Structure 1
Amino acid sequence: MARHGGQLLVESLVALGAKKSFGVPGESYLAVLDALHDTKGKLDFVLCRNEGGAAFMAAAYGKLTGIPGICLVTRGPGVTNASIGIHTAMQDSCPMLVFVGQVGTDMRGREAFQEIDYRAMFGSVAKWAVEIDDVDRIPEILARAWKTATTGRPGPVVIALPEDMLTSATDVAPLRGPAAYPEPEPAAQALAQAREMLAGAARPLIIYGGCNWTAQGSAALQSFAEASDIPVVSVFRYQDQYDNFSPTFCGEAGVGMVASVKKLIVEADVILAVNNRFGENSTDGYTLLDVPLPKQRLIHVHGSDLELGKVYQPELGIQAGPNAFAKALAAAPVSGDWAAWRAEGRAAFEAGFDLGDLPSPVDMGKVTAHLRDILPDDVILTNGAGNFTVWPNKFFKFGPDARLLAPQSGAMGYGVPAAVAAKLAHPDRAVVCFAGDGDFQMNCQELATAAQAGAQPIILILNNGIYGTIRAHQERHYPARVSGTEMVNPDFVALAKAYGFHAEHVATTDAFAAAFDRALASNTGAVLDLDISPEALTPRVTLSQMRDAALKAKENA
């Protein structure tokens, strides 16, 4: 049957298993929009308000579901807006397909209207960037793109679609479904060597990361760790992939890494690293392990051979999928004299939740403690970037059914779109977004997307009138010289109500619980504007203390 390129693309995406697409319309891919007219209920198009928000939604959807998030944007300005989400998906190692309209093949290379060479632009940002020049090759290239996005180290693929290619007719059949690519299994010899190294350790440690865990894989890793009594640490913003209530879980290696986690990494003599890439934030600027040869004996397990030895040379590198490896490992636990080592790490993690009163009208320590008590076990938390992220990232315990959507790239504005995507993927689950006042304003227009799509989360705005992370660095390096970090904000309650959300201003800690109950009861989504003092910039050090310490250091220099 003859069909145009847009129809062939969309029918193939449906066959592959795509359910949601996120985007902003553009004339460069009208043929795709035309095809999406016929797939409502199978492959829906979620109309977004900015391509950056659309790309964040697609990235978060891929991270949450394991199915590539689909992002549709127009050429030039459209895809440059979307580039923030592409970069985030790459650093998060989550599956995503970005389809971008392109100038016609007869105009390419002339710097035509909105023309960009996408292979050059995204060659170092995405996992793969490709352009489809021949309509008959859509199924071939799409199958490769889907496989590339989902296997090895998952990541984003950018696919440019010339306008004339999309409107060309073809009788090529669409894809019938996705090919099966089982995770690579660990070699028996490598598995035996890994067990031998762990069994011979005095202070073993497991570090894990990545978004492509299954519930069974995470449970298998937990089973091995508990049976072997080995402490476990997550990399930056992946603590939700392991049960934090397990006595083996000892915290997160990420921004603001606590001393007890650093101690575990530095003092470990054998480290089993599963499915993580060794990023800057999870190694404290590559200082906790020596580059390229760590003092710790390192076993690195990853589905992509490109991650093995990329920064650190392991004593044993194993190319295997995380779930396949964890299942095989759990079959035979190890034992050793390290119970006190694990217990010390766990005790430090638990002690980290103890906080005194914070100097703020709304005390986020008490708010987060309340949320830990009342939120359902399968809650999904989201956040963007800023000092406020310490609350969902360091002061919440994720059980096996809870999820965290947070960007390893440190991108502001991710939390709101991620919450919308989460609510679309799981409309019956509670979704709570933590957003700073600066972070919220990066993508607050996506409240309109949420309202139109019927996917309204609860959003907590931690409103302190400053760009908190930058202000903290400013006070440490240039104390008492405030420049460019103070904000005059709009009326967030009025803004949220204009988008049809339930909204309240919360002025005190005591008022939060009732306000949050009303937010949960609302069927329109909710925005709570929390009155936070700039002094309460971190859980344990005030803004004034930062400034005073920096001034004193300068005086003594």
Structure 2
Amino acid sequence: MQSGGEILVRSLINLGARTSFGVPGESYLPVLDALHDTAGQLDFVLCRNEGGAAYMAAAYGKLTATPGLCWVTRGPGATNASIGLHTAMQDSAPMILFVGQVGTDMRGREAFQELDYRAVYGSMVKWATEIDSADRIPEIVSRAWKSATTGRPGPVVVALPEDVLSGKSAATPLSGPIAVEEAAPGAGALDALRGHLEQAERPLIMLGGVNWQEPSQRAMEAFAEANGIPVVTAFRYQDCFDNFSPVFCGEAGVGMPAHVQRLIREADTILAVNLRFGEMTTHAYTLLNVPEPRQRLIHVHPEPGELGKVYAPELAIQAGPNAFAQALSMLGSLDRS
């Protein structure tokens, strides 16, 4: 029999977690004990404030494409961390916030620092939940990890009641993560894509989002350079593309340069890969008409909910960035004569 804290930490280690960030609190002491017992396997980076810890976890998730883990205590610890969660959601960065909670026997009484985390974070994250039994820790952690990393990546909140963490269970820790294959574009979509790009006089590629692998970035660069198509990156995603490439034209973000605005506004065809059309990337939604842009829009994204969310694309392709880049590399040079 193991404590809930031990099952949780061992599950995270087996999922591949090696670094976490947080501010210690008495509401999750069994987790801290388990981290001490597994020293060197899952590091705990001590932070001065929960907001800073959440920012670090969000940045870690964005850089590594694996969930950035954050530990905070209940009440003020959780609310301090909310800014990092909001940032992770806006940036589509995988992250899991583990937050202490009052014991299950006290819930609903407005106990000291008690919060309803589903209500507080429900509109801010991909999923907010609370574990009500140590036996369910592997199940909930597996779902949290998958939710944070698949589709449109983002933050997940898991509340940990004190008695769940200290209670004993015979549950087996997770053995590893679920292998989820990226969605890939179909042959018909690729044929349509080729046709649109070959007909375009002023095509533009826009890139963003997380989960890019280096070979996929190189493939996108090779395709854009081979076909002379200018590229801009979305807000806070300058690293998606080689900034020294002859076809790189800048970032569509805060203080967007006039030449980037003009490229987007005057393009006749836009291939948007792995980005969501947010306020900054669209210059407050002024560069493309809502909901039907003047530009022919080809939107590629792994999350179907992002396709047509603001702008209605002429061609919507549900595909992950790496699977799409690999398929795009097979198109080779376009006939744009």
TM-score by length of 2: 0.98
Match of 1:140 in 2: 139
**Within 5 A, what are the aligned runs for 1:442-457?**
none
Q: Distance in 1 between matches of 2:30 and 2:335?
A: 61
2:203 equivalent to 1:221: no
CA distance in 1, matches of 2:271, 2:35: 45
Structure 2 Cα separation of the partners of residues 40 and 142 of structure 1: 21
Q: Take 1:124 and 1:335, find their aligned partners in 2: how far apart are those partners? A: 46
Rg larger for: 1
Does structure 1 residue 112 correspond to structure 2 residue 107?
no
Matched residues in 1 for 2:225 and 2:41: separation? 42
2: distance between equivalents of 1:180 and 1:194? 29
Cα deviation digits, residues 423-450 of structure 1 (max 9, x gap): xxxxxxxxxxxxxxxxxxxxxxxxxxxx
Give 1:195 deviation, angstroms: 1.2
Within 5 Å, give how 1:393-542 maps onto structure 2: none
Q: What pairs up with 1:225-240 in 2 under 5 angstroms?
A: 225-240=224-239
Q: Does 1:281 align with 2:277?
A: no
Distance 2:123 2:190 in 1: 34
* Conserved? CA contact 1:205–1:268, under 8 Å: yes
Deviations 1:140-182 (A, max 9, x none): 1111110110111111100001111111100110000111112
Residue type of the alignment partner of 2:183: P
- SS of residue in 1 equivalent to 2:215: helix
The letter for the 1-side match of 2:336 is G
Match of 2:18 in 1: 19
1:40 CA drift (Å) = 1.6
Query: How many residue pairs were aligned?
Result: 336
- Inter-CA distance 282–58: structure 2 relative to 1 (3 Å threshold): same
- Corresponding position of 1:364: none
- Map of 2:303 onto structure 1: 304
What SS does the aligned partner of 1:283 have? coil
Deviation for aligned residue 1:64 = 1.1
Please give the alpha-carbon distance, in whole angstroms, between the structure 2 residues aligned to 1:258 and 1:186: 33
SS in 1 for 2:298: strand
Name the aligned partner's letter for residue 250 of structure 1. Answer: C
1:336 aligns with 2:336: yes
Tell whether the 8 Å contact from 1:11 to 1:175 is kept in structure 2 after alignment: yes
Residue 29 of structure 1 corresponds to: 28
Q: 2:95 — aligned with what?
A: 96
Question: 3-state SS of the aligned residue for 2:244?
Answer: coil
Deviation at 1:34, TM superposition (A): 0.8
Deviation digits for residues 390-416 of structure 1 (CA, Å, limit 9, x no counterpart): xxxxxxxxxxxxxxxxxxxxxxxxxxx
The Cα of 1:239 is off from its aligned counterpart by 1.1
The letter of the residue matching 2:41 is K
Do 1:29 and 1:74's aligned partners in 2 also have CA atoms closer than 8 Å? yes
- Residue in structure 1 matched with residue 195 of structure 2 by the alignment: 196
Separation in 2 of the partners of 1:187 and 1:75? 47
Residue aligned with 1:300, SS? strand
Residue of structure 1 in register with 2:252 after alignment = 253
Shift of 1:334: 1.5
Structure of greater relative contact order (alpha carbons < 8 Å, 6+ residues apart): 2
Structure 1 Cα separation of the partners of residues 218 and 305 of structure 2: 26
Partner of 2:318: 319
User: 1:315 & 1:228 partners in 2: Cα distance?
Assistant: 21
Q: CA deviation at 1:42?
A: 0.9
Tell me the secondary structure at the aligned position of residue 33 of structure 2: helix
CA distance in 2, matches of 1:91, 1:325: 23
**Moved beyond 6 Å, runs of 4+:** none
Q: Deviations over 1:29-77 (max 9, x none)?
A: 0011110012221101111111011111111111111121110000000
Separation (CA, whole Å) in 2 of partners of 1:336 and 1:239: 28
Query: Within 1, Cα distance between the matches of 2:330 and 2:238?
Result: 24
1:276 shift after superposition: 0.3
Tell me the distance in 2 between the aligned counterparts of 1:239 and 1:191.
26
- How far apart are the structure 1 equivalents of 2:187 and 2:151? 20
Partner Cα distance (1:216, 1:152) in 2? 20
**Is the contact made by 1:183 and 1:321 (CA closer than 8 Å) also made in structure 2?**
yes
- 1:443-475 Cα offsets, whole Å, 9 max, x none, are xxxxxxxxxxxxxxxxxxxxxxxxxxxxxxxxx
Opposite residue 278 of structure 1, the aligned amino acid is: F
Q: Which aligned pairs between 1:41-80 and structure 2 lie closer than 5 A?
A: 41-80=40-79
Q: Which amino acid aligns with 1:55?
A: A
For the residue of structure 2 that corresponds to 1:93, the secondary structure is coil
Q: Deviations over 1:185-218 (max 9, x none)?
A: 1111111111111111111000010121110111
SS of 2:153's partner is: coil
Residue in structure 2 matched with residue 495 of structure 1 by the alignment: none
In 2, the alpha carbon distance for the partners of 1:180 and 1:283 equals: 34
Whole-angstrom CA distance in 1 between matches of 2:110 and 2:187: 55
Q: Please give the alpha-carbon distance, in whole angstroms, between the structure 1 residues aligned to 2:197 and 2:167.
A: 59
1:229 and 1:335 in contact (8 A); partners too: no
The letter for the 2-side match of 1:9 is L
* Structure 1 residue aligned with 2:122: 123
1:15 Cα deviation from its structure 2 partner: 0.2
2:85 alignment partner, SS class: helix
Counterpart CA distance in 2 for 1:70 and 1:131 is: 16
1:306 corresponds to which letter in structure 2?
G
Secondary structure at the counterpart of residue 156 of structure 2: strand
What is the distance in 2 between the residues matched to 1:256 and 1:48? 32
3-state SS of 1:186 partner:
coil
Q: Counterpart amino acid of 1:81?
A: N
Matching residue of 1:156: 155
Distance (whole Å) between structure 2 residues aligned to residue 59 and residue 40 of structure 1 = 23
Distance 1:109 1:191 in 2: 54
Please give the alpha-carbon distance, in whole angstroms, between the structure 1 residues aligned to 2:324 and 2:290: 26
Shift of 1:335: 3.5
